[in-house]
Amino acid sequence: MNSSPNSDQPGVRVQARGLRKSFHGQEVLKGIDFEVQPGEIFVLMGPSGSGKSVLLKHVIGLEEPDAGEILLNGKPILSAEVMEEYRLAMVFQSGALLNSLTVGENVGLYLAEHQLKPPREIARIVAEKLEVVGLKGQEDKLPSELSGGMKKRVAIARALVIEPQLILYDEPTSELDPLSAVIIGQEILQLQERAHVTSLVVTHDRDLAFGVADRIAFINDGQILTIGSPDELKRNKDPLIQKFLTADFKPH
């Protein structure tokens, strides 16, 4: 899509530095710092309302911080240079598919709208990306004909058409049955192995987090409590983290 030197690097380094954000006087991000290595799968886990989605929107430049910054390979995300230079993709929580378009049209929409490729080439790319997510030949289906898990996979295929260097997933397993959730986790792992993309996964799904993460940041109330490997997180003594990791329906 562009030929600058950075566009050939598979994964980008992401740094969040002192990120703060308030909405209507309510502080939602209270000073967030982390660094994601190129090619790493970094999970942001924490309870609902802790600021995960807001944080992800800052990483892709959809929200502007009140203070602090996001850097991609050392450059501010909000600079025009970075926006042009790097290929970033976000898989939204809802999937955000257009119901009036077919699966194939949804996946190829970006390329078609920006007239980046001729129709035949778009069809080839769409077929290739659908195959990657296990939906070979499903181009002509409508979103309404798909299960929740299939819709999420279409959303991932759509993210893949730009050959992203950074993929952001917002709650990729929400509303999915356990088996579909496992398949999504496998997709995330395979994409990382195949394309060495940097992956940032926001989730409150413990199984997904521990299944895919190189490292996990635990976020609560707009602050990161700890960052570590899945094993380090399991050994963390913070009562809130332990409660979150062990909560179930069984009486203790």
Ligand X SMILES: Nc1ncnc2c1ncn2[C@@H]1O[C@H](COP(=O)(O)OP(=O)(O)O)[C@@H](O)[C@H]1O
Single out the residue of 54, 77, 111, 167 in contact with ligand X (rule: CB under 6 A): 54
Instruction: List all residues 6 or more positions away from 193 whose beta carbon is below 8 Å from its beta carbon.
Output: none
Q: Can you point out the beta strands (E) in the chain?
A: 14-23, 26-36, 41-45, 67-72, 75-76, 88-91, 166-170, 198-203, 215-220, 223-228
The alpha carbon of 22 is separated from its chain's Cα centroid by a whole number of angstroms, namely: 22
**Closer residue to Mg ion in complex, CB, 53/242:** 53
Q: Which of 28, 27, 59, 30 is nearest to 42 (CA)?
A: 59
Under the criterion CB under 6 A, does residue 6 sit at the interface with ligand X? Answer: no
d(CA 75, CA 63): 17
Under the criterion CB under 6 A, does residue 172 sit at the interface with ligand X? Answer: no
d(CA 196, CA 213): 14
Residues at the site binding Mg ion, with contacts judged by CB under 5 A: 52-53
Reading the block at residue 230, the tokens are: 């899945």
Q: Which of 67, 59, 107 is nearest to 86 (CA)?
A: 59
Single out the residue of 48, 99, 115, 144 in contact with ligand X (rule: CB under 6 A): 48
Under the criterion CB under 6 A, does residue 66 sit at the interface with ligand X? Answer: no
Give the shortest CB-97-to-ligand X separation in angstroms. 20
Under the criterion CB under 6 A, does residue 52 sit at the interface with ligand X? Answer: yes
Give the shortest CB-49-to-Mg ion separation in angstroms. 8
Residue list 7-26, contact with ligand X (CB under 6 A): 23
Give the shortest CB-48-to-ligand X separation in angstroms. 4
Under the criterion CB under 6 A, does residue 94 sit at the interface with ligand X? Answer: no
Give the shortest CB-53-to-Mg ion separation in angstroms. 3
Among Mg ion, ligand X, none, the one that 50 touches (CB under a kind-dependent 5 to 8 A) is ligand X
* Residues found near ligand X in the complex (CB under 6 A): 23, 28, 48-54
